[in-house]
Each structure stands twice: as structure tokens, then as C-alpha cells.
Structure 1
Amino acid sequence: MRRVVAGALACMFAISAHAALAQDKPPLKLGGILDMSSLYADITGSGSETAAKMAVEDFGGEVLGRKIEVVVGDHLNKADLAANIARDMLDNQGVEMIFDVAASATALAAGEIAKARGKIVMFNGPGSIRLSNEACGPFTVHYVFDTFAQANVTGLAAVKSGLDTWFFLTADYAFGQDLEKDTSNVVVKSGGKVLGNVRHPINTSDFSSFLLQAQASKAKVIGLANAGGDTINAIKQAAEFGLTKGSQKLSPLLAFVTDIDSVGLETAQGLLLAEAFYWDLNDDTRAFSKRFMERVKRVPTSAQAGVYSSVTHYLKAVKAAGTTDSAAVMKVMKETPINDMFAKNGRIRADGRMVHDMYLFEVKKPSESKGRWDDYKLLATVPGDQAFQSLEASRCPLVKK
């Protein structure tokens, strides 16, 4: 009996020691740099924070004996602030991986900070193709969409349907400029013509002068190379001007389901747009979106779904690698296909581009919708190797040619 009691006590001491050791380990911190209060808040914002926390909870809340924590900062759409937040997270808060970084200018700034410190950064909200080209890094992942894929999926479909003359309304910063450039290339290569452009400041409230220039061009398509609140305002004001009741069509080159909800189907019906994710695609997307909606009270955007997927992929790689060392974790992430509610057989290439299927949707008429958020009609599924820029065309210095 004494031997049994002694053995039981030894086990208890061992368990207690293990628990104490686990408590001594610092938490594994994941840092989200988000737009919590400006024109991209619905696209990323608190929804991205929630998606990251859902991924952590579903993973089990800890890895390698370390509790997982999610910390966030609001960059207010200011590149210098995004860089400062990234610096503070990595230097002072012990953050091991940064996610989202909505908006391209902020992402480019924060990405340089992460690159200099050898830390993993996974971009979900920003779209600039530069992130996997000139600004690529060994530990940088561009996960959800980019300007090349958005242009390729939407622009090609429009030109093929006879909408072959374009005028661009472009947000005057990195993302808008890249989106206009990439779409222009697709239009011209497909046999179309670009008749002109006009650039507007980010977060513009009055699009009247820009829309009048677009109308005067007589282009068949007015391409909106902007995002978030700018896209919403441009579509609403174009409708107020009666611009789309004539022969011209609007093409939002980056629009999210939250944008369409804000605009309303009466105004947005018939728009063609490319998306990386839609809540009502299949059973897996619907199951995740139902859980997300219980917390956020609206469906997830592609950026928010991408946050959940990318955080999960990172944590699985940390567990498999047995370390948080960036090189070891990135090696596992690039070797492991991504199969979840966001992507099927997705893969991270040498340039950091996560390649997955993209989707071409048409916005439904009000009479076709069964209710709020039932906004899209699927027109085509575009395989990742056709949607995204080829590795051979990459300008990333890490790609061997």
C-alpha cells in the first residue's frame, strides 16, 4: 500500500511540476494590425480579431505548452503608425507572427519591419501585388487576394463579354495604383482599350467631379480601383447621377459582401466582381460563417475568413515544427497544402503567394435574393494557377529563375 501511495504522490508531483513549467513559459502572441475605425473596418477590423480568436480556440488555445494570445492594434490607415505598431509588437510585446495588416500602404510599411526582424507576417486584407513581388520576404505570406487576381478574374470576364473600353476611378495610393495597372494590362491584352483615368484621395466623400470625368469618357466600363468606403460611396453616387442607367457599367475591382450589403441590391444588382471566399459557397463555408455570425452579427468577408485560415495554418506548422523559429515554421507552411473552409489544396509558393481558387460572381437582383447576405450568383470558379500571377513572371528576388 505504501508503494502505491508513494507512486501516486510521485505522479501528482510530476503533473504539478509539468503544469508549473507550462505556466512559466511565455504565451505565444499573434499580432493583428487592423483598421478598427476607418473605411476598411467592416472588411477586417474587429471581425478579423474575432476570426483569429476563433482559430486559436478551435486549435485548443495552446501550442508547445504555451498559451496562445491574440493582440491587436488600430493603424488608422496610416503607414507610419502601422510600422510603429509592428515595431512595438515585435520588439516589446513578444509577438511572434503578425496577421492581416489591412490596406496596402500600411502592409508595405509593417512588412518591412517584420522582414528586418525575421518574423512571419501573413497579409489577409491588403491587395497590392508588390507584397509578393518587389516587397516579398522569406517569411512573408500574401494569403487572400491581390490586385493581379482581382484584375485577371473581373477584367477578363468583362472584356470577353464585349465590355472592351475602360475608364478608371482610382484611389491614389499603392493598392489603387496597382489595381488600375493590373486591370489595364488585362484589358489591353484581351483586345480592349483604356480611355483614361482619374485618381481620388483615399476616404473621399464626394465623387461627383470624378464621376463626371468618367461619364464624359464614354467608356463602356468604369473600373473602380478602390475599396471599402470609397467603393461604397462611388457606387451610391454613380446611381444617384443615373450614370449606370445609360450605356456605361460600373465594375468594382475589389468589393466585399459587406460593401454590397451597404450599397443594397437595388443599386448593386448586376455588378461583376471577383472574390476569394463567399459564405454561401458550400457546407464548410456555411458552417464557419454561422459560427462567425453568432459573434459578429454579419457574415465574414474573404479577408476575415482568410485570417481564420492563415492563423490555423500557422499554428499547425508551429506544432509540427516543434518551435516558433520563423524559418522552421515557414518551411512547414510551404510544404503543407491548405485544405479548410477557405481553400482546397491551397499552397504557399516561394514568393509567399498563397495560391487558391478565385470566384467570379454577379450581384443578384432583389427578386433573386432570399434575404440579407444572399447577394451573389456564382458565374465561374477560376483555378489558382490561372487567377494569380505565374511564378515565372514574379519579380520577387527570392524566386530562382
Structure 2
Amino acid sequence: MNRLVKLLLATSFAVSVLPAGFAAAQDKTIKLGVLTDMSGVFSDANGTGSVVAAQMAVDDMAGELEGFTVQVVSADHQNKPDVGAGIARKWFDEDGVNVVLDVPVSPIALAVRSIAEEKDKIVLLSSSGSSDITGKSCTNNTIQWTYNTYALSNVAGRATVERGDKSWFFITTDYAFGHALERDATAAVTAAGGEVLGRALNPIASPDFSSYLLSAQASGANVIALASSGGDMQTAVKQAAEFGIQAGGQKLLGLLFDVTDVNALGLESTQGMLLATPFYWDRNDESREFGERFMKLHGRVPTMHQAGVYSAATHYLKALRETGTDDTQTVLQKMREMPVNDFFAQNGHIREDGQMIHDFYLVEVKSPQESAGNWDFYKVLSTVPGDQAFQPVENCPRIAAKQ
């Protein structure tokens, strides 16, 4: 672990951006809280890298925030909703945190977003994927920045069926995110003319997927879709290779698959997999520049979650700069008014339901022969505009009530 990451974990960073001569009493202290998984199954894709990304955003904006001091604090929610909710409540009530960022694991995000609404604070979710967050459970103070289960499923599911793989079997992690991912993928598959032959549920952090994989193999489905992420996804893919599932002609599809998963498993095991993503570090010059800066600090390229943390934190800080206040509703309104233009999204915008709308990419994992070296993992096959990728705004009840 490099020196910067150790420092990030050991203390909160404060970047003073007061011009010379301002009195300390005139300073407004802003705290960004990165609530993440530091040691569990999602720590590779989130964890310390999400803290690094938030600090990069603060550092990059430091010269533009006259009158504010910005601090980054972090905590490990241990993938437990009660722990995550307790941290968020303490941050809001006692520690002066203005914004909570990242938050892998949808049940934790759903708990935190309720507390933020009660306390009139802001939640910028980069790693919670349930489409219910901006659907039936939408709130005014929460923005889902990076992805959701609807977009992942809609882009990857439809494309796979259209390529001729019409029969599906799901192996689904048994919690809110997994269920939402399976539900949204099922809708996309059936709408495209495919069918679902069966499902198997695995508990989170399962060490053994053999029974689930045997059921999927026996179904004869063209596609075995993994409605999971992080360590569960990696374990399932590794054991599928051991069972010879892909060699037998069935295809694996990771509904939430990251560059860190490919790196952990290797191209031999993952080549040819299709997936949807809103971000790939090597897609263009801007994403490469950010990816290379991030890698110097963290030792690996950014995942979509970590890139989303940077983008969301930067957009918040820009709204802070434009309004000159930390008033929650004033800043939120400015965030909705401003387009999102950075390495993560071009002409993105925050919809009234709290969904940040931006393009998605259908990608295929390269073979070892196609890869030019470390972290050269994806071929971008197509771009899906954000207004086609995400769910209708009417899924949010408070928006539907206005219409």
C-alpha cells in the first residue's frame, strides 16, 4: 500500500482554499464522507480507491473554492446496513459531514438515503445499483451517479439476446441489489424476445458456487447470467471455468463486472464476456489521463465506481463554487442545472428523480492475444445514449404524481 493511501486511511485531509488575509472565522468547512467497503468483497472495486478518488477531486478543485475548507473522511460499513446507517447518522449529527459518497451495497444506500432526507444532507451514490433508489424509493437529496441495475441489464441483456443467445439462467446474490439486477435483466431479456429458464440464489460472500453452477449447466441455457458483483462474481467465474461451462458452449455474462474482476481472474477465464459499463479508463485521451494519474496514487486503474466518486465529488464542489453556500437545497438545485462534462460523462445531466443520465458502453473482454498489456482489457463495441439506457423517470412516485 503506497504512502498516500496509508495517509488517507489514517486521517482526514483538509485542503484550505482561503485567499491570503481571510480570517479563520470566515471559513466554511465542508466534509465529504466516503462510506465504503474497506476489507470485504467490494473492496477492490471501491475501498481505498474511492477515498483516493474523492481526495483527487478536492485537490483538483482546491484553487477554485474561495472561502471554503474541504475535508475528506472515510469509514468502512462492513457491508452491514445497521453499521452503515449508524456511521451516516453520526456523521450528520456529530461530525458535520455534508455529503456521503460511494456506498456499495444497495440496502445500506437505501438506509443512508432515508437518514439524509431526514437531516437534509446529500448522498451521491457511485456504487449502489438498485434501480429502486431512483425508482420507487427515490428521494430529493440522493443522486445515483454511476449506474443502476436497469441500465446494466438493459444494455447488456438486450444486446446479448440480439446476438442470438435467447435462453437465460440466473445465479443471483440473495440481497436487494442482486434481486433488482435479476428483475431488470429479466425484463430486458423478455422484451428482446428471450426467455428465462431458471434461477439459483446464493448468499453474499459465498465460497462455493458448485450447486448453483450445476443447476445452470443442467438447464441448457445459452447464457448463465451472474447477478452479483465483487468477490461473489469472481468466485462464480473462477468455478465456472473449473466446471468447463464455457468450454461446453454456454456463455457467462457478468451483469456487474469490473476491470478489477478481469485483473483478478485473468483474460484466459474472462475473454469474450460481454458487459455494460459507463466508464473504461482507456476509452479516450481524457479517461486515460485520469486513469494514469489515479494509478500513480493507487497502484491500479480506476473502476467505474471510483471514477464516479471523483466525478460526483467534483460536480458537487463546482456547485459549491457557483453558489458560494453549503445550503443543501441550493447546492442540489445548482447541481441539477449544470451539465456534467468531464472524463466520466459528456453532456450528462441530473434528472428530477435523482438519476444522473449519461452514456453507457457495451464492451467485450479481450483475449490474451488481443491485449497490449496490463489493464488493456476491453473492446468498446457500441455506445448507448443515456436516455435509452436508463429507466423512465415516471418510475419515481413523486415525479409520477406531478404528471
Q: Report the secondary structure of 2:101's partner residue.
A: strand
Q: In the alignment, what sits opposite 2:178?
A: 176
Residue 280 of structure 1: aligned partner: 282
Partner of 1:379: 381
Query: Which of 16, 21, 25 lines up with 1:21 in the alignment?
Result: 25
| Cα displacement (A) at 1:111 | 1.2
SS of the equivalent of 1:141 reads: strand
- Alignment map for 1:239-318 (pairs within 5 Å): 239-318=241-320
Unaligned runs of 5+ in 1: 1-14
Aligned to 1:347: 349
Task: Indicate how the Cα distance of structure 1 residues 160 and 16 shifts in structure 2: closer, same or farther if over 3 A, else same.
Answer: closer
Residue number in structure 2 paired with 1:11: none
Q: Scaled by the length of structure 1, what TM-score is found?
A: 0.94
The aligned amino acid for 1:385 is D
Residue in 2 aligned with 1:363?
365
Matches within 5 A, 1:46-57: 46-57=48-59
2:33 to 27, 31, 34: 31
CA contact (8 A) 1:139 1:330 kept: yes
The CA distance in 1 between the partners of 2:44 and 2:117, in whole Å, is 28
Larger CA deviation: 133-142 vs 366-375: 133-142
Instruction: Give 1:62 deviation, angstroms.
Output: 7.3
Residues 131 and 148, structure 2, Cα contact 8 Å, conserved in 1: yes
User: Aligned equivalents of 1:395 and 1:21: distance in 2?
Assistant: 42
The residue that corresponds to 1:199 in the other structure is 201
Poorly superposed stretches of 4+, deviation over 6 Å: none
TM-score w.r.t. the length of structure 2 is: 0.93
Distance in 2, Cα, partners of 1:50 & 1:108: 24
- What is the rounded CA distance, in whole Å, between the counterparts of 2:274 and 2:100 in structure 1? 32
**Structure 2 CA distance for partners of 1:16 and 1:34, relative to 1, 3 Å:** closer
State the AA in 1 paired with 2:398.
P
For residue 369 of structure 2, give the secondary structure of its aligned residue in structure 1: helix
Instruction: Determine if the alignment matches structure 1 residue 99 to structure 2 residue 101.
Output: yes
The secondary structure found in structure 2 opposite 1:37 is coil
Q: Is the 8 A contact 1:61 1:68 kept in 2?
A: no
The worse-fitting range, judged by mean Cα deviation, of 59-68 and 140-149 is 59-68
Q: Indicate conservation of the 8 Å contact 1:138/1:398, yes or no.
A: no
Equivalent residues of 1:52, 1:307 under 8 A apart: yes
Conserved 8 A contact 1:343-1:357:
yes
Distance 1:61 1:131 in 2: 34
Instruction: Deviation per CA, 1:261-289: give whole Å up to 9, x if none.
Output: 11100010000000110000000000001
Cα distance in 2 for residues equivalent to 1:61 and 1:272: 41
Cα 1:284–1:378, aligned 2, differ >3 Å: closer, same or farther?
same
For 2:398, the equivalent position in structure 1 comes to 397
Structure 1 residues 295 and 364: CA distance shift in structure 2, 3 A:
same
Report deviation, 1:17. Answer: 5.9
What is the RMSD computed on CA atoms of the aligned residues? 1.3
Q: Distance in 2 between matches of 1:146 and 1:173?
A: 15
Whichever residue aligns with residue 372 of structure 1, its letter is: N
Offset from partner CA, 1:133-184 (integer Å, 9 cap, x none): 1221111100000000000010001000110000000000000000000000
Equivalent residues of 2:53, 2:307 under 8 A apart: yes
> Following the alignment from structure 2 to structure 1, what is the Cα–Cα distance between the partners of residues 334 and 21?
31
Within-5 A mapping of 1:92-241: 92-241=94-243
- Give the paired residue count: 384
**In 1, Cα distance between equivalents of 2:136 and 2:47:** 27
Aligned twin of 1:326 = 328
The residue matched to 1:244 in structure 2 has which SS?
coil
Identity of aligned residues (%): 50
Q: 2-side partners of 1:113 and 1:323: how far apart? A: 22
Residues 337-378 of structure 1 deviation map (CA, whole Å, 9 limit, x = unaligned): 000000000000000000000000000000000111000001
Q: Measure, in 2, the Cα distance between the counterparts of 1:348 and 1:247.
A: 42
Whether contact under 8 Å (2:359, 2:385) holds in the other structure is yes
Q: Is the 8 A contact 2:64 2:321 kept in 1?
A: no
* Equivalent in 387, 390, 401 of residue 388 of structure 1: 390
Q: 1:44 aligns with which of 46, 49, 54?
A: 46
Q: Which has the larger radius of gyration?
A: 1
Which residue of 337, 340, 363 corresponds with 1:338?
340
In structure 2, the partner of 1:5 is none
Q: Quote how far apart the aligned CAs of 1:253 are.
A: 0.5
